[in-house]
Copies of this chain bind each other. A is one copy, B any other.
Amino acid sequence: MSRRHLPVAALFEAATAGDRAALARLLSLLERGGAEARDIGRLTYPVAGRGYTVGLTGAPGAGKSTLTSATIGHLRSMGEEVAVLAIDPSSPFTGGAILGDRVRMQDHATDPGVFIRSMATRGHLGGLSLATPEAVRLLDAVGKRWILVETVGVGQVEVEIAGKADTTVVVVNPGWGDSVQANKAGLMEIADIFVINKADRKGTEETRRDLEGMLELSDLAHDAWRPPIIAAVATERRGVDELWSTVLAHRDFISSTHELERRREFRLREELREIVARRLEQRARVVLGDDRWTELQRGVVGHHIDPWSAADEMLGPVGA
């Protein structure tokens, strides 16, 4: 019997025992969404919670993937195992398999202590907002202690996802402070740690001052945890030790203040809200039946009825 046809429970058991192909198959099922995704969720939910999630985000080209790769190297040198989830469409980890790009940076691809996976969620009704926490929970449930989630720091959904890690690292470059090219406000809100990557270029100190200034303005400077700013050159692994010790310091801080609990609770509430919304949408289709749905859609397209009145009619039988 090939893995493709194993039931979810058997796949989960195999993945927990270290079978990478079984884990990959489960992640593919999560990407697709549907009934299997739900079954996987029910299996993973009770056993997850021991892993720790670190989000890395920043503008395209900031060097997130190189920093992720250097961080993997650092963790491996300490004997730690690590899983990476790349949900950044510009990440080399995601491979850009479509249209012929090649993965460039899988230095760690043959290392059994490293599991790298990119996410694509075309089939998943909830998209990245639902698939990402499900994938993180699966990696956690099969025993991954460190889970790095790389997302691009541009875009509504992506910045939200980045902000839902236990510790969120925002990667910027020298000169960033001076430019208007990044979603600063959104990134400032979610940052626990800043990394100024490519710090061998000029403008590093100005960028540091700029970040300090923005921290002052945003009141984050006066919180009990003031986001530290780390200079790094990821291509040479400079600053990576400091980054990781700062991640550990942040973990200790949020664990001792119960902020970690609060963050995880908030994430669960958000996920529940998302599940309910998607479930309702599916249920509405069933209740209404395809004919009525199609007819009302036609009415809207033909300008016989406006979309809000059509929605009212569609939802008449639901929850009335």
* Interface residues of A, Cβ cutoff 8 Å to B: 38, 41-42, 45-46, 59-61, 89-92, 96, 98-101, 104, 127-128, 152, 154-158, 179-186, 188, 214, 217-218, 265, 268-269, 271-273, 275-281, 283-284, 286-287, 296-297, 300-301, 303, 306-312, 314-315, 317-319
Contact A45 B307, beta carbon cutoff 8 Å:
yes
Cα–Cα distance between A156 and B124 once the two chains are bound (Å): 13
Q: How many copies does the complex hold?
A: 2
A287 lies within 8 A of B157 (CB): no
The minimal Cβ–Cβ distance linking A50 to chain B, given in whole angstroms, is: 13
Supply 30 A–B pairs (Cβ within 8 Å), ascending by A: A41-B307, A41-B308, A42-B308, A45-B306, A45-B307, A89-B183, A89-B185, A89-B186, A98-B184, A100-B214, A100-B217, A101-B180, A128-B156, A155-B156, A156-B156, A156-B158, A265-B301, A269-B301, A272-B296, A272-B300, A272-B310, A276-B281, A277-B278, A279-B311, A279-B312, A279-B315, A280-B284, A283-B319, A284-B319, A286-B319
Return chain B residues, CB-CB under 8 Å to A154. Answer: 60, 89-90, 152, 154-155, 158
A272 touches B185 (CB 8 A): no
Which of B158, B300, B315 contacts A280 (CB under 8 A)? Answer: B315
Complex Cα spacing A180 to B99, Å: 11
Residue in contact with A96 in the complex, picked from B184, B306, B310, CB distance below 8 Å: B184
Chain A residues touching B, majority SS = helix
Centre residue among A277, A296, A311 by max chain B CB count within 10 A? A311
Chain B: minimal CB distance from A211 (Å) = 11
Residue of B nearest to A217 (CB): B99
- Contacting A276 at CB < 8 Å: which of B181, B217, B315? B315
Closest to A306 in B: B45
Q: Are A271 and B307 in contact, CB atoms less than 8 angstroms apart?
A: yes
Q: Are A297 and B277 in contact (CB under 8 A)?
A: no
For A271, the chain B residues whose CB sits under 8 A away are 307
* A9 → B minimal CB distance (Å): 15
In the complex, what's the smallest C-beta–C-beta distance from A174 to chain B, in angstroms? 15
| A218 to B98 Cα, complex, angstroms | 9
**Which residue of chain B has the shortest Cβ distance to A133 in the bound complex?**
B307
**Minimum C-beta distance from A131 to chain B (A):** 11
